[in-house]
Amino acid sequence: MKVAVIGAGTMGRGIAQAFAQCDEVEKVYLCDIKQEFADGGKDMVKKGFDKRIAKGKMAQEDADKILNKIQTGLNSQAVDPDLVVEAALEVMDIKKATFKELQEDIVKNPDCIFASNTSSLSITEIGNGLPKPIIGMHFFNPAPVMKLVEVIAGINTPAADVAKVVEISEKLGKTPVQVNEAPGFVVNRILVPMINEGIQVYSEGVADIEGIDSAMKLGCNHPMGPLELGDYIGLDIVLAIMDVIYKETGDSKYRACTLLRKMVRGKHLGCKTGIGFYKYENGAKTPVDKL
Ligand code: 3HC
C-alpha cells in the first residue's frame, strides 16, 4: 500500500511515521507546500528515532528501513497513492482546495481513498463540490503512540470507504472507532471543553497552573493535566475546536474562555511557540503566571 500524507506538521509527520512503521505499507509520500517543510517533518521523525537508538530501544537498521519508506516532496509527488491522509491547516478553504487539486490534477489511482485528519471540521462540508467523497481518519497526538483512530463518515461517505479505513487502521495496530459526523466527533467534543474548563478554573484563581494539572493527573489518572495538554496540542488548535463546536451547536456551554483567546492572539500557543501555560526552555518546563 502507498500512502500520501499531506502536511508535515506535528500531526502529519506523526501519521507518516505510523504508516511507515507498518509492514504492509511500502511507501509514504510526506508532502507539504515547500520541500523544506516536508524535509523538516522527516527530520523530526529521524530525531525521535535517534533518541530511541541512543537509549538502546531501537536498532539503527530498523530506523533506516522506516525512514527509507518516507519520501518527501510537494503534493504533486502523490501520483499513485492508495490512500491520501490530509493533515493540512485547520482551515476549510485550504482543505477543500487541497483535495480539489489532488483529485482533479494529481492522483491518478481511480481507487484512491481521500481522508482528512481534521480535528473538528465537517467531513460533509470538506467533500462538498469535490469529484470524490471524503472520509475522516482522525489520529491523536503523538500519532505513532496513541492507539485510537476515529473513522468519521460524512453524509456522502460510502460504507465501503468506512470499512476500508477501519481495516487499514487495524493494520497500523490502532483501534478504530466509527463515528457519525458531529462537531468535534467524540474525543474532541469531550476533551477540548474539559481543557477549556481547566483554563476557566485557572482564570478564576481557583488553583495555580501546576495545581490544576496535578489535581487532574492524580485525581483522574490522566497522563497530562488539562493545561499542559492544551500546550501540547497547541492552544490555537484548542481554540479552533471550541469555536467550531460553539458555532455548529450554538450552545453557550462551548464558549471559549477569554484567557484562551487572549493567549492565542499573543502567540502563547504552548510547546510549538515555546510558551503557553508553561515556558519551554532547554528541555525544561516551568509554569508561567498569566493572572
Ligand atoms: N512521537 C513519537 N513517539 C513518541 C512521541 C512523539 N511525539 N512522544 C512520546 N513518544 C513515545 C516515546 O518514544 C516512548 O516510546 P518508548 O517507550 O517505546 O521509547 C513513549 O511514547 C512514551 O514516551 P515518554 O516515556 O517520553 O513519555 P510518557 O510516558 O510521559 O508519555 C505521552 C508521553 C504518550 C505523550 C503521554 O504523556 C500521553 O499519553 N499524554 C496524553 C496525550 C493525549 O491526550 N493526546 C491526545 C491529544 S488530543 C488530539 O491529539 C486530537 C487532536 O485533534 C487535537
Residue 81, pLDDT score: 98
Cell numbers linked to 41: 517533518
Largest CA distance in the chain: 57
Q: Is the CB of 157 under 6 A from ligand 1?
A: no
Q: Is the CB of 108 under 6 A from ligand 1?
A: no
119 is catalytic: yes
Give, using CA atoms, the residue closest to atom 11 of ligand 1. 145
pTM here is 0.96
CB atoms closer than 10 angstroms to residue 282: 4
268 is catalytic: no
Contacts of 91 (CB under 8 A, 6+ apart): none
The one catalytic residue in 119, 120, 122, 169 is: 119
Contacts of 54 (CB under 8 A, 6+ apart): none
Q: Is residue 127 a contact partner of residue 134, using CB atoms and an 8 Å limit?
A: yes
Residue 254, pLDDT score: 98
Q: Is the CB of 229 under 6 A from ligand 1?
A: yes
Domains identified in the chain and CATH numbers: 2-180 (3.40.50.720), 188-287 (1.10.1040.10)
Q: Which residues of the chain have pLDDT under 50?
A: none
pLDDT (tens digit per residue) in 266-290: 999 999 999 999 999 999 999 999 8
138 is catalytic: yes
Ligand 1 pocket check: which of 141, 145, 150 to mutate, most ligand atoms within 8 Å of Cβ?
145
Residue 291, pLDDT score: 77
pLDDT (tens digit per residue) in 107-149: 999 999 999 999 999 999 999 999 999 999 999 999 999 999 9
The one catalytic residue in 86, 90, 120, 138 is: 138
Q: Is the CB of 126 under 6 A from ligand 1?
A: no
Enclosing H/E stretch for 264 = helix 258-265
> What whole-number distance in Å separates Cα of residue 6 and Cα of residue 3?
10
Enclosing H/E stretch for 48 = helix 35-54
Give, using CA atoms, the residue closest to atom 30 of ligand 1. 223
